[in-house]
Structure 1
């Protein structure tokens, strides 16, 4: 009679509670999503929802502070758009298409005492490919008589943590070390999302292409609670984590568990996950709109160590990631449910024969994967701006990290994520920003040629 008791405990009452919570969050988002851009968000142009855009960013070289109220004109051919930087020194300019654009700062609009653009760096030429979002156009204001060297471009859409005000004469140390630090932070964020993918694959064999939408869901829930409802950031982070876990539970309960009981093969399941990904993605776009959203945060540098400058959100995100990853390791290695999860991943049939409730393990994995993805989403939202397709944009990196570390191993996903994060950020020092994902995939291919099972994966016998 125990199975019936379990069903009653997770029956209609609990299910309705979860549905009501998620529905309330979405209703609040839809009703209050219009005042989306808080005062800290960049000032978008009227066509900032275009498929490609330039992000203008103006800072002072003296203290790295942002400069607001500066007019900048972006033009190419018949297109011309003038914008004004917001409180964070940024403004996003939507573009009609790819091409080369002239970005010119109106020096008369620069506040007195903020400095001026070095000779030869105004206007700037920015090349934008089709589909490129937030291509950086940085202006560093220097005092009279200061150098005229330009600032190296930062990763598109990334945090300010790795920006360096050093010019081409900067040493390799000053260029590479900040990227290593930001790459490690991004790798930790990627690991939170990747562990869920790896555990789901290990326990069910499913490559879940809708996992990116779990990340997006967490980011958007964090946005609802912090930017729309005005609650503290810690409340937004906790809410995104809890709702992410509930969303993962509902996905398994309403979709994946029935399909498993029907005996649907893995390839059809994978196709279903692709369809679910597309459906959720455009539901998010319908509710929250196509524009970039910004979580309220203090973007000033909180920790400066040589060329490395970290914001408070970067430091807090890294600490949260490390604590959660250690907690996941403890659960997998020291608890009964963790040992059961590893047993199901190793051999599902043998685990079931030994008395392990496989369905309970899978349900727990889905809840944990959703919670970790939701947490990763809201932290990525603090690390960079977010959109309705934030999770989809990093899905390739998530799968690359899981593949590199070894499919089905949580610790492999962690190692693979750190490698991918560092390579992605460091590569922008040597190659154009638009090719940073290519560098990560090239390294992935090279490592798999040497170790096909991944860094921590187990070699399998064929034939």
Structure 2
């Protein structure tokens, strides 16, 4: 083996060691350490720091999303009856005796008049808690108008909104303090959360871009690779695996899932020279089938991974949890590893050659099928890691990946079809613009804002930000 090969292996081993170190730190600090409730009555006190099952109650104002302190909350169910009071951030963490269905009721008389009232039908609400399911959200919004606010209980068809708090779905927010900070404080908060989610989105988008570049396939089942990673991490934590091992295991299982897909479906179809349109239809069918297999085994309820909801990093008005910070750091490390592999290793150069011209690459002695197989494994592993980090960042459901599939395709197209680095740039641009657009648009229109910027950029640069012009005709 050449000296260059030895140096390459040593550098990759060093980068892998850094990743494992980050994951170990991630698991050590991300363990829940919720503050004890301010008031406790009824049954014996159950410390939420050590309880296997907990509920996270958060009561806020609709106007500025600021938490409402001093609100009385009662949680009952399964021989459990406890009374609590929200802290200065409007939160309270409730330790439970076990899994089951619990009723969370807010005493409306304890909500200050200036904060408004809870909408009719939103209080009380039932919360289903699975075994070893911590910090299951029970969020309430108080409004000063008759039609504002609302319970954050998701309907069966709701999907999490990526990147930040979503009143429609009740996703756990990455930023704990966005109220009372002024306009520029809100801008900074949205910029930071948009940047973090953009990095997570990039992990999934790069894989989809590599698959398109080497095979020409727009894989509509790529979102299910994202969901698969989150569900595998959830399963491993349920089996008692530590956090770092659950994340690493999910990435490995995700790569194995990509290998199985290519071996059993895509490689045989490529050998038969099936056209791209039928291949896309196959991917749509695979996405639907996989999605409902997830529902069959995991149900339609929101799932949560062990997480510490306390602020870890406070930068002025921005308050981030440890998992938010480490998710961003880990994403950057992995993206640097991907960049090194694509630019400096034989596999990366071969993948770029196949993406440029597969026939010429094959004539040059490159095993195209083997390169595509490795691309599928790597893309699925990246998507699985994205799924785990997104599950920590907001929440996990059976359709988490399909909810962001449109953003993945938009990021790949915006950055330049088939360009891994373009997918990174496109993900960051879309996520940041999408978050900032909510300064003037309703929350449920931020996807539309992302697509508007996609259309505008493609009107002036059809090949995308980092794409190359191609002569047609």
TM range (shorter): 0.7 to 0.9
Residue 47 of structure 2 is matched in structure 1 by none
* 2:160 is aligned with 1:126: no
Give RMSD over aligned pairs.
Answer: 3.1
What whole-Å deviation, never above 9, does each CA across 1:276-324 have from its counterpart, x for those lacking one? Answer: 0000000000000011101110011001010111100001101110000
Mapped to 1, the partners of 2:119 and 2:168 lie a distance apart of 23
Cα displacement (A) at 1:229: 1.4
The match for 1:200 is: 211
Aligned to 1:437: 447
2:297 aligns with: 287
In structure 2, the gaps of 5 or more residues are 1-50, 58-64, 70-85, 95-103, 109-117
Residue of structure 2 in register with 1:357 after alignment:
367
1:326 aligned residue (315, 324, 336): 336
Describe how 1:228-247 pairs up with structure 2 within 5 A.
228-247=238-257
For residues 55-204 of structure 1, the aligned pairs below 5 Å read 60=69, 64=89, 66-68=91-93, 71-72=105-106, 76=120, 82-83=124-125, 88=135, 90-91=137-138, 120=144, 125-126=149-150, 131-133=157-159, 157-167=170-180, 170-204=181-215
When residues 89 and 251 of structure 1 are mapped into structure 2, their CA distance, relative to the original with a 3 A threshold, is closer
Q: 1:370 & 1:291 partners in 2: Cα distance?
A: 24
Where 2:404 maps in the other structure, the secondary structure is helix
Give the C-alpha shift of residue 124 in structure 1: 5.3
- Note if 1:373 corresponds to 2:386: no
Change (3 A) 1:41 1:448: farther
1:399-438 equivalences in 2 (<5 Å): 399-438=409-448
Deviation at 1:126, TM superposition (A): 3.2
User: Structure 1: how far apart are the matches of 2:179 and 2:139?
Assistant: 24
Runs (5+) with no aligned partner, structure 1: 1-36, 44-55, 94-102, 105-118, 136-151
The answer as to 2:358 corresponding to 1:348 is yes
Cα distance in 1, alignment partners of residues 328 and 210 from structure 2: 22
Match of 2:220 among 192, 209, 212: 209
- The alignment status of 1:277 with 2:301, answered yes or no, reads no
Distance 1:417 1:80 in 2: 36
Q: CA deviation at 1:82?
A: 1.2
CA separation in 2, counterparts of 1:159 and 1:176?
Answer: 20
Tell me what 1:267 maps to.
Answer: 277
Aligned to 1:115: none
Distance 1:89 1:176, change over 3 A: farther
- Alpha-carbon shift at residue 385 of structure 1 (Å): 1.0
Cα 1:367–1:215 change in 2 (3 A) is same
When normalised by structure 1's length, the TM-score is 0.74
Count of aligned pairs: 372
